[in-house]
Chains A and B, each alone.
Chain A
Amino acid sequence: MSAGVLPVVEPHRHKAASLHVDAALTARWLEAFLFDELVERRGIGRAVVGLSGGVDSAVTAYLCARALGPANVFAIRMPYRTSSTDSLAHARLVVDALGIDETTIDISAAVDGYLQYEPAADARRRGNVMARTRMVVLFDQSAKHAALPIGTGNKTERLLGYFTWHADDTPPVNPLGDLFKTQVWELARYLGVPVPIVEKPPSADLEADQTDESDIGVSYARADAILALILLGYTDAEIVARGEQAADVSLVRRRVDGTHWKRHLATTAMLSNTAINEFYLRPVDY
């Protein structure tokens, strides 16, 4: 019998929660979701997508075009006077690639019409007014086209609360809300979203030179990795032990914990045994 040293086999230590998605499978699933939600459930075969020039709305438009046919997708570009010209150009790339209908509605007059009475409004307030004005336009354009507005919010921004409540989150159907930003990028590459859109730094484009990652204070890659572990129940210390920076973990945790309210509808005082959504429970598709 050999007295040699036996080879040792070990598992990978702290295998990271994988954020990889099978993009082909995901795309098929989300197309079926859009078709069922719009055509089968609501009898509405048309979609309106607010096309910002960013990757989320681009992917949403691609999925809608696959699910409903390009002729049934209406893209709305809604620039404000400070919006980046790149955003408009990138939105145009999507329109041209898909062959979908496009309307550009400049929201500057509507936004400034209100903000002239609030000249002291800071950037955050101004950004929220813009987002909510776009929501008004999107819903009205949906009525005009007998279409449904489709949401574009992803899981990362929903978890971080990086969106305007009752604005970006209002469309009744949202295909991307359970995909992290890095997964949206993976899906975008599979769908053939134009490369400049996939590779540029994401931006809410509410202010000049704004980027999401500088607003949030951590990269999407790190935020997603940390969020995935938070959702699985790991403590901050356990996440740090898996190689994340303590400051990043604490920042992400704080943002999630501070924004649970943003992922709910209004808090309603309960007074009876028939309070809606407390006792009187009916599913959304009933």
Chain B
Amino acid sequence: MKLAIVQTKPRKGEIEANLTALGDVFAQLARSDVPDLIVLPEAALSGYFLEGAVYDLALDAGTLAERLAHLWRERGDAGHAVDIVVGFYENAAGTYYNAGMYLEVTPGGHRVAHVHRKMFLPTYGVFDEERFLSRGRRLSAFETRFGKVAMLICEDAFHAIMPTIAALKGARLIVVPSASPGRGFGGRGELESVERWKSMLQTYAAEHGIYVVYAGLAGFEGGKGMSGSSCVVDPRGEVVVAAPAIGAHIVRADLQPREVDLARAELPLLGDLLAVLPDLLLDDELPLPVPVRVARDHKSESGT
């Protein structure tokens, strides 16, 4: 599967201009070695820090899907099917989300395969997402022509349980649209925040035997520099390719689904986890809600 990550550097709030620029990128991608999957970062077409302007700029998924499918046909390669993952602010009938869309564009039409709504909304320090947005309620692994895929948006991937659940649900590829303000300059040639990202992604990929595709937003937003560094991590945890932190880039890679099987055969941790998982979760010391089914049984036993 031919992958292209488009590390965008959008102009703040100028969605039309940013779509035009994306059209140029589609044209570039269509010139040779046309990709099967294009992945864009979080808030790829608007910029990340919007504050109250998010209500001016959020789009409904159908409208954005239509625009992107049209753009691919106009500027990309109308005869070549492509799947597109894009991070965007979603207006779902007046409820607003930080979302990621998995869109399938074929010569004959297009289909939204899935919309993932960011579950972990960072609201601390420089971040203020939950002041403006609602959080998603489910992490899904959904079918694509490349097998099951899951999306995690930025801080979703800071919680190790998220890629674990994605893998348990069958994902063989995790796509992470992200917008990470770079910080920490005391490191060794790389931003400390980027080092941390890579180390997390490598750990998840190797533990579960999955591909991880990370698309990082680039450009400065009011002094906060989005740290790009889009990368692909293979199912053995190796960084296959990575973009610089600064500036817009296209990252190309060829993903081999067979590598997932081979990595899992070599290190069958996911299979081991599946076996142990019930013991881990059916543990009354965990702060989990009482399962609905148990509560219902209890209700019927009490004779009401």
Contacts and interface: CB of A to CB of B under 8 A. Distances in A.
Chain A partners chain B: yes
Contacts of B191: 25, 29
B51 A283 contact: yes
A282 B52 contact: yes
B49 A29 contact: no
Contacts of A268: none
Given A18-B186, A22-B189, A283 B246 contact: no
A202 B190 CA distance: 30
A281 B186 contact: no
Given A281-B52, A282-B53, A26 B185 contact: yes
Interface in A206-247: none
25 contacts: A20-B186, A21-B186, A22-B185, A22-B186, A22-B189, A24-B189, A25-B185, A26-B185, A29-B245, A32-B220, A32-B225, A33-B220, A36-B219, A36-B225, A40-B11, A279-B52, A281-B51, A282-B51, A282-B52, A283-B12, A283-B50, A283-B51, A283-B53, A285-B221, A286-B13
A32 B185 CA distance: 15
A266 B117 CA distance: 38
B20 to A, nearest CB: 16
B189 A25 contact: yes
A24 B13 CA distance: 32
A25 B183 CA distance: 11
B185 A21 contact: yes
Interface residues of A, number: 24
A30 B12 CA distance: 19
Interface of A: 18-22, 24-26, 28-29, 32-33, 36-37, 40-41, 279-286
Contact of A285 (B12, B185, B187): B12
Contact of B225 (A19, A24, A29, A279): A29
B293 interface: no
A36 B12 CA distance: 12
A46 to B, nearest CB: 18
A19 B188 CA distance: 14
A22 B50 contact: no
A286 B12 contact: yes
Contact of B190 (A25, A32, A33, A280): A25
Given A282-B51, A285-B221, A29 B12 contact: no
| Interface size grouping (class) on chain B | 20 to 34
Contacts, number: 65
Contacts of A283: 12, 49-51, 53, 221-222
A98 B249 CA distance: 31
Contacts of B53: 282-283, 286
Contact of A32 (B186, B189, B246): B246
B182 A29 contact: yes
For the complex of A and B, the 8 pairs showing the least CB-CB separation, nearest first, are A281-B51, A36-B220, A281-B52, A284-B222, A21-B185, A32-B246, A285-B12, A285-B222
B209 to A, nearest CB: 33
A280 B225 contact: no
Contacts of A37: 220, 223
A280 B51 CA distance: 9
B163 to A, nearest CB: 28
B220 A280 contact: no
Interface string B219-252: 1111101000000000000000000011100000
B48 to A, nearest CB: 9
Contacts of B245: 29
Given A19-B186, A26-B185, A286-B53, 12 more contacts: A20-B186, A25-B187, A29-B182, A33-B223, A37-B220, A40-B11, A280-B52, A281-B51, A283-B50, A283-B221, A285-B221, A286-B13
A282 B55 CA distance: 11
Contacts of B47: 285
Interface in B1-39: 11-13
